[in-house]
Structure 1
Amino acid sequence: MFAWGYNFKTAPVEIRELLACSKEELCDLLTAVKSYSGVRELVILNTCNRVEAYAVAEDYYQMHLLVSAFLELKKVSPRYKKYSFFLEGKEAVAHIFKVASGLDSMVVGESQIVHQFKEAFRLAKECGGLGKILNRVFEKALRTAKKVRTETGIGKNAVSVSYVAVELAKQIFGNLSKAQVLLIGAGEMAELASKYFKKLKASIFIANRTYQRALELARELEGNVLRYEELADHLHKFDIVLVSTGAKGYVLTKEMVENAMKKRDYRPMFIIDISVPRNADPDIESIDQAFLYNIDDLKGIAQENLKGRLREKEKGEIIVWDEVEKFFRWLELLPIEEKIVKIKSYWADVEKREPKFRRFLHLALEEIKRNPSDGEKLIKILLEEVKEDGNKARELSYVHNRVDGAGV
């Protein structure tokens, strides 16, 4: 079991955006990487703060092939491998559980990751990436996430990246009730941000490629709609611009902002780009009185939010490691699972002929679950005896004695 990838802790946004995948390309990428590397199972999680691969592989060489294929298909130089992380075994599974639980998020405790996590595994299933092990990892990760949220206060008054972005706007601008705010994009993160802006009584305009979606969100917020194609003509009217789209290129160019700043007599404009890949040209920073922030600039505010949650985070990590141990106990049993099924297939017939054997079989199977390392030995004993005449009490006692004496 392996985990490899890039996240906000290991790589700046300039690197993460090179590896970001659209929903449309994820399936093709997953299929190609899995085929080339030979890994048995593969899931790719892609969010604004991470691009990570979770894989079941035979050895390190397959993972080396996976990394090489991933970078080559994304046309990313191998020199950027230094920004990635690599985990295996229990550390890899613990990482996956922490991610699903919001314990590894930039904004600790945020719940949006659960939806993103489910979407990643749904896509992997559709594209042939899931097998027995990762399917189990997925189920356990979601159960762990639920347990962390119910048994700790990590999710209490939880915030999101969108909230932190609005908090940054508030720190910069002050009283947002006097601000003209433009949201470019109408996806989940933009929608969350718009609701926070509404609470602060900001005047909100929404621009989106799909006009109908912008209209729906504007009605919900009692806001206004700006047609996407008219963005450049009206940009100068806004004090705060929050960008959150899935576009691959720059939605806000340096030229657009330069023209807007001239029209507004260089009154300050604050642009917060929480898109990955970035949708606002980094060169905008060079324009006088245009202040550009990207998603990595939110870390400071996110860390402030974490201070009051450190104890709950520690509680959550204890739960995670407990669940990791349970998962690996299941994993140890996996190789003998088929043999256990084979034993049970004899059950109905044998218990009819000799009811006493049912108790012996039950004891043996329970012992296998408790001590997987003795499983092969116990199974061999049981299969040998089941094939014999099960009617003789002497032989059944012999089975029982052998099971008891098998070093368990």
Structure 2
Amino acid sequence: MHIVVLGMNHRTATVELRERVSLGTDALQHVLTQLRESRTVMESIVLSTCNRTEIYALVNSVRAGHDYLLTVLSGTSGIDKEEIDQSTYFIQGEQAVAHAMRVASGLDSVVIGETQILGQMRTAFQEAFEAGNTGAMFNRLFREVIHVGKRAQAETTVGQTPVSVSYAAVQLACKIFGDISSRRALVIGAGHMGLLALQHLQAQGVGALVLANRSPDKARDVARQVGAEVISLADVSSVLENVDIVVSATSAPGYIVREAEVRDAMKAGRGRSVIFLDIAMPRDIDPVISSVPGVYLYDVDDLDGVIDANLQERKRQAVIIESMISEAVEAFSNWLTEQEVVPLITALRAKGESIQRDVMESLLRKMPELSERDRKLLNKHTMSIVNQLLRDPIQNVKELALASGDTEYVHMFAELFGIDQDILKAQQVISPTHSEVDATRGSFVELFQRLRGETDRLAGDKRVLHPVLR
């Protein structure tokens, strides 16, 4: 098995291409269904935001998995498979796990330390879990991914300074206008991004705020928090001639602000400048308006690198987070290995207990005169012998498996102790990552020589990853 991720983000694809690949609610459920019914993909999670679309998958073949995920995105978006391939990244193993943790921590966002992505990652995991797309491995992995994202926010200052996309948009307006205390701003959309834009504009001392939303009643609670006037989307064109800053952040499928409306608004106020900041995905503002005199239009791609304030500190904090990620990847690798060892330990204990029960039954048949106290004492001591005999082998198989990250030795130990391979398979939480070990691999002398040589080789290794992460 292999953990992989296929995705596109603000670094690899244009905003136009990302719009076409971005998945709405219905499309997301369709993709999850495709992945769930595929024989190539065992587990999967789909993340689709304004700046990225990613599919995390557990596949039985890297090559086949890559091709299948490209086919899924191509079929859903209607974009040629080769075009998608040129604008996506494909990561596997340890790098895929670390990538997921960087995304959740905000290290892979347009602005380092952006905090919204953690909630989006949590939602993506929840939707995949409820759809039945995740199993033991991804349930564990993405709980760790979300845990790392939480640690990044709680234990560092990377997300404490407001440097989100909304903040970047407001900062850009402030840089262009300077003092905005005499300016009037229109925010379109009362969702999370719109609320952040309102809060940042208020914090920067904007002169007046107007909030436009499809449902004015729903927007009033948001508007009250910042003292904004509320209008409906239908009235946006009527206020364009009286505003200096427009921030649009809805989830509408088409353009809300069009060229003709902007041209009419600019004619009514000759000589003035208006900044349009389109932070929606798909875009809310027709890009053609940039040709209108006095209009300055910026979309999410233009905001990449706008914010310099706090960026250097965030980069320093990112080093701390990278250390957290490294530790978490190693811990996940150890967990994977432990899942392979647990069935063997369980089987060993079960076999030891079975032998002890057989011995006790034989003894009691031969010595029926034993008192209840003597029987309990004899049972306790015979069980103690079993536990002492198994203690070192169990400890050794744990240490060797964790040191090597390899499950081959689990099967070797099983062969050594006469544990049926079918018993191990029946108890496994995660399917084996190697082909079945040949029962006639070699003599026990050769086996012990291999184990000893491998132990010596690994003695100096600080970290060896589970095969799934290699």
TM-score under structure 2 length normalisation? 0.77
Q: Name the counterpart of 1:134.
A: 138
Larger deviation, residues 91-100 vs 6-15: 6-15
Q: Name the counterpart of 1:371.
A: 400
Deviations 1:293-320, CA, capped at 9 Å, x for gaps: 0011111224554223322212221221
Q: Name the counterpart of 1:51.
A: 53
Q: CA separation in 1, counterparts of 2:411 and 2:162?
A: 48
Partner secondary structure for residue 55 of structure 2: strand
| CA shift for structure 1 position 121 | 0.3
2:383 counterpart of 1:354:
yes
Query: Partner letter of residue 132 of structure 2?
Result: G
Superposition pairs for residues 23-172 of structure 1, below 5 Å? 23-36=25-38, 38-59=40-61, 60-78=63-81, 79-172=83-176
| CA shift for structure 1 position 224 | 0.8
Deviations 1:123-172, CA, capped at 9 Å, x for gaps: 11122211111111101112222333444442342521111111111111
Partner secondary structure for residue 16 of structure 1: helix
2:17 to 15, 18, 22: 15
CA 1:362–1:101: 2 relative to 1, 3 Å: farther
Q: Name the counterpart of 2:274.
A: 269
Query: Partner letter of residue 378 of structure 1?
Result: F
Superposition pairs for residues 321-340 of structure 1, below 5 Å? 321-340=326-345
| CA shift for structure 1 position 17 | 1.0
CA contact (8 A) 1:37 1:69 kept: no
Bigger CA radius of gyration: 2
Deviations 1:87-118, CA, capped at 9 Å, x for gaps: 01111111011111111111111221111110
2:7 counterpart of 1:5:
yes
CA contact (8 A) 1:48 1:276 kept: yes
CA 1:138–1:99: 2 relative to 1, 3 Å: same
Superposition pairs for residues 158-307 of structure 1, below 5 Å? 158-202=162-206, 203-302=208-307, 305-307=310-312
| CA shift for structure 1 position 338 | 3.4
CA contact (8 A) 2:215 2:232 kept: no
Query: Partner letter of residue 77 of structure 2?
Result: K
Q: How many correspondences in the alignment? A: 393
CA contact (8 A) 2:104 2:118 kept: yes
| CA shift for structure 1 position 262 | 1.7
Query: Partner letter of residue 9 of structure 1?
Result: R
Larger deviation, residues 339-348 vs 120-129: 339-348
Q: Name the counterpart of 2:365.
A: none
Query: Partner letter of residue 111 of structure 1?
Result: T
Partner secondary structure for residue 334 of structure 2: helix
Q: Name the counterpart of 2:359.
A: none
CA contact (8 A) 1:37 1:63 kept: no
Q: CA separation in 2, counterparts of 1:117 and 1:287?
A: 39
Query: Partner letter of residue 274 of structure 1?
Result: I
Larger deviation, residues 362-371 vs 288-297: 362-371
Q: CA separation in 1, counterparts of 2:337 and 2:197?
A: 45
| CA shift for structure 1 position 381 | 3.6
| CA shift for structure 1 position 347 | 7.0
Unpaired stretches in structure 1, ≥5 consecutive residues: 388-401
Partner secondary structure for residue 277 of structure 2: strand
Deviations 1:312-342, CA, capped at 9 Å, x for gaps: 2122212212221221222234344434444
Q: CA separation in 2, counterparts of 1:208 and 1:185?
A: 5
Q: CA separation in 1, counterparts of 2:286 and 2:38?
A: 35
Partner secondary structure for residue 116 of structure 1: helix
Unpaired stretches in structure 2, ≥5 consecutive residues: 357-378, 424-446, 456-470
| CA shift for structure 1 position 383 | 5.3
Q: CA RMSD in A?
A: 2.6
2:314 counterpart of 1:314:
no
| CA shift for structure 1 position 252 | 1.1
Partner secondary structure for residue 181 of structure 2: helix
CA contact (8 A) 1:97 1:141 kept: yes
